[in-house]
Amino acid sequence: MAGNGPPPKPWERVGTSSGPAPFKPPSGGTTSDVVEASGTAKPGEVVSPAESNAGFSGNNTVSRPLPPRPWQQQQPGYGNSYGGYGATTYNSYGGFGGAYSSGAGGLYGNNMYSGYGGGYGGSYGGSGMYGGSMYNNGMGNPYGGMAMSPYNQGPNSFGPPAPPPGFWVSFLRVLHGAVNFSGRVAFLLSQNTQAFHMFITALLQLCDKSGMLYSELVIFALRLLGVKTKPKKGKLQGAEVPSLERPGQQFVEAPKANKNSWEKSGAGFTASQEKMGEITNMMEYQAIAKQKLPKMAYDYYASGAEDEWTLKENREAFSRILFRPRILIDVSTIDMTTSVLGLKISMPIMIAPTAFQKMAHPEGEYATARAAAAAGTAMTLSSWATSSVEEVASTGPGIRFFQLYVYKDRKVVEQLVRRAEKAGFKAIALTVDTPRLGRREADIKNRFVLPPNLTLKNFEGLDLGKMDQAADSGLASYVAGQIDRTLSWKDVKWLQTITTMPILVKGVITAEDARLAVHSGAAGIIVSNHGARQLDYVPATISALEEVVTAAQGRIPVFLDGGVRRGTDVFKALALGAAGVFIGRPVVFALAAEGEAGVRNILRMIREEFELTMALGGCTKLSDITRRHIFTEDDRLGRPLPRL
């Protein structure tokens, strides 16, 4: 034991100033006992109390030899006899247990502030390095190194540092909280998986928006642990920078598009587009339009009837149709051209009629007409346009249809149809689903009325161009007073007597009406639910399309209007038998955001998306797109997959 002694005690280290405090022996003892035990005096030598305490200052500075170590003691009971001298209040050496002392550092090692009470407990000593003091409940090893006191963190401790006071209580509280939280999360997961996923998604989005990407979180954690990480060289693409317009907000600066790449097609990026970042799909224009437009105008364009269930379903129904692409087909050349009513267009994507376009942009229908002509496709002008048929025709050549509401005064209708034909319009799109206006609650709340600087240009000289203020919706009052509720299938035949233009019946969603349209002599059918603005809870147009196509039996072309936002939507519609599609709201939102450039841009984007879908689906021309390329909800419910 003497050959392998323990590490030096704190007061044995060079430069250590901390030492024992003066003490007074109990009655019957003298300081000579301690001095004798330390080996600094001969046995029996008497040292006066003043001399024995002379080396102990108020700062516990050691200036004389220390008591003997346990391994220097020869007798097991020797430590106990001197352990009794640790009873003073500030004694740093309270109780020096002997080599085999089982006492807690001696009888008086339990003094109140003994810094090293029982510090020399022997092999079987019960006291630790700080054993026996008021703040030590130590359980010592041979040299007190494994004492478990809350403050036993001395330099000679062989074990881990003891936790601070109250650690275990706090630990149990934290553990209880963690278990409770885990239980609540487990309950939430079992009761509402969707809500749990929404919570996690929101949490991850919060991390993203605060600029902490996942890789950066790992780096951050490593730095907390003291692991050095090298910063990436150069500026990180897409780094978030603070917005000057809205304090506290952040935005991701998108890479600038190559302007020259689109100038050839006549669809260049505008300065405002560069400022807000590149638009990557037509749906992004809606958020921009919402910021730019007055609430009454935006709500008119964006809202649907009543609960707006059909408005949502028009989009969601597309998502339930899946692709069955073909592979290993040469798609180096894609041909998207088609003909509508004998008129050749660049793609099977046309512009639907939307009213009051000058509420969205000062150029209104002019800009839309020019953009459609530049894209080589058809535009449909609304009866309730804020530009007349003659004004739109003056913008230049182009394929244009005229959407018609039948008024009570048939002379007005007849005059309007003939004006459109004279202006070079190629077809009539007869709206048949509006004997009365649907209940559009947003318009009722906003008391919708056309702004005073705008009129229904096609009716301006007929005293029908103004819309009066009403108790609910000014448009609903206008329709109630002007639109003919007696409209029937015989009126389709009547229209054929006053014009040579082909007539498309717009608003068919059932097989029964499709057959009647064929029998009435219609040139084509537009499957439409009026943008979900008339009767709520009717099927989405893409859901009704196949039924109508089957009923038409190929005798007349069937087109789709409603919910189209992607090139994939166009492909799905054509796979279900449509001859082409119309887009409405995206045109108005793009017009509000960027005028003519916005309309050009959405036509370019949807064309490119459609071309890509054709290539990935294994189709090089429109006639290659068949029912076998998609898998619908009806197929999943029982109809077998198409066989080759």
Residue 530 annotated as catalytic: yes
- Which of the residue ranges 90-104, 208-222, 630-644 would you say has the lowest mean pLDDT? 90-104
Q: What is the mean pLDDT of residues 245-270?
A: 36
More confident residue, 165 or 451: 451
More confident residue, 154 or 615: 615
Contact indicator for 431, 404 with CB cutoff of 8 Å: yes
Dist CA 202 CA 70 (whole Å): 65
First CA to last CA distance, the chain: 92
More confident residue, 82 or 283: 283
Closest CA to 281 of 40, 546, 608: 608
Q: What is the mean pLDDT of residues 326-343?
A: 96
Q: Is the dihedral of CA 377, 382, 386, 390 positive or negative?
A: positive
pLDDT in tens, 120-159: 444 444 444 444 444 444 444 444 444 444 444 444 444 5
- Using the structure block, give the residue that is written with the tokens 């592979």: 327
Phi/psi at 360 (5° precision):
-85, -35
Q: What DSSP character marks residue 168?
A: H
Tokens of 461: 């000289």
- Using the structure block, give the residue that is written with the tokens 């097989």: 511
pLDDT in tens, 218-241: 665 666 566 655 554 433 333 333
The total of other beta-carbon atoms located within 10 Å of residue 81's CB is 17
Please tell me whether residue 272 adopts helix, strand or coil conformation: helix
- Which of the residue ranges 251-255, 389-393, 476-480 would you say has the lowest mean pLDDT? 251-255
Q: What was the pLDDT predicted at 132? A: 44
Q: What was the pLDDT predicted at 633? A: 86
Q: What is the mean pLDDT of residues 573-597?
A: 97
pLDDT tops 50 at residue 511 = yes
Please tell me whether residue 615 adopts helix, strand or coil conformation: helix
What angle, rounded to 10 degrees, do the helices at 193-209 and 167-191 form? 120
Contact indicator for 157, 147 with CB cutoff of 8 Å: yes
Q: What is the mean pLDDT of residues 187-193?
A: 61
Tokens of 345: 């267009």
Mean pLDDT of the residues in the chain: 74
Q: Find the Cα–Cα–Cα–Cα dihedral 109, 115, 118, 120, rounded to 10°.
A: -150
* Region for residue 60 given its phi and psi (left: phi exceeds 0; alpha: psi -120 to 50; beta: otherwise): left
pLDDT tops 50 at residue 482 = yes
Residue 520 banded pLDDT, cuts 50, 70, 90: very high
pLDDT in tens, 102-125: 444 444 444 444 444 444 444 444
The Cα-based distances of 429 to 218, 249, 383, 459, 502 in angstroms read 60, 46, 10, 18, 9
Dist CA 93 CA 60 (whole Å): 11
Q: What DSSP character marks residue 165?
A: T
Q: What percent of the chain has pLDDT over 90?
A: 47
pLDDT tops 90 at residue 563 = yes
pLDDT in tens, 442-473: 988 998 888 888 988 998 877 665 666 666 66
pLDDT in tens, 349-389: 999 999 999 999 999 999 999 999 999 999 999 999 999 99
Closest CA to 463 of 443, 437, 481: 481
Closest CA to 414 of 502, 496, 525: 496
Contact indicator for 298, 431 with CB cutoff of 8 Å: no
Contacts (Cβ under 8 Å, ≥6 apart) of 355:
382, 383, 384, 385, 386
Dist CA 599 CA 588 (whole Å): 8
- Cα 623 to chain centroid distance, Å, stands at 39
Q: What is the mean pLDDT of residues 472-478?
A: 68
Q: Find the Cα–Cα–Cα–Cα dihedral 252, 253, 255, 260, rounded to 10°.
A: 130
Candidate list 176, 197, 519, 530, residue with the active-site label? 530
Contact indicator for 153, 162 with CB cutoff of 8 Å: yes
Q: What was the pLDDT predicted at 460? A: 84
Q: What was the pLDDT predicted at 537? A: 97
Q: What percent of the chain has pLDDT over 70?
A: 57
Q: What was the pLDDT predicted at 170? A: 78
Dist CA 69 CA 155 (whole Å): 17
Q: What was the pLDDT predicted at 198? A: 55
Dist CA 502 CA 422 (whole Å): 14
Element (H, E) at 611: helix 596-617
Q: What was the pLDDT predicted at 249? A: 32
Residue 397 banded pLDDT, cuts 50, 70, 90: very high
Tokens of 334: 């894609």
The total of other beta-carbon atoms located within 10 Å of residue 389's CB is 24
Q: What was the pLDDT predicted at 429? A: 97
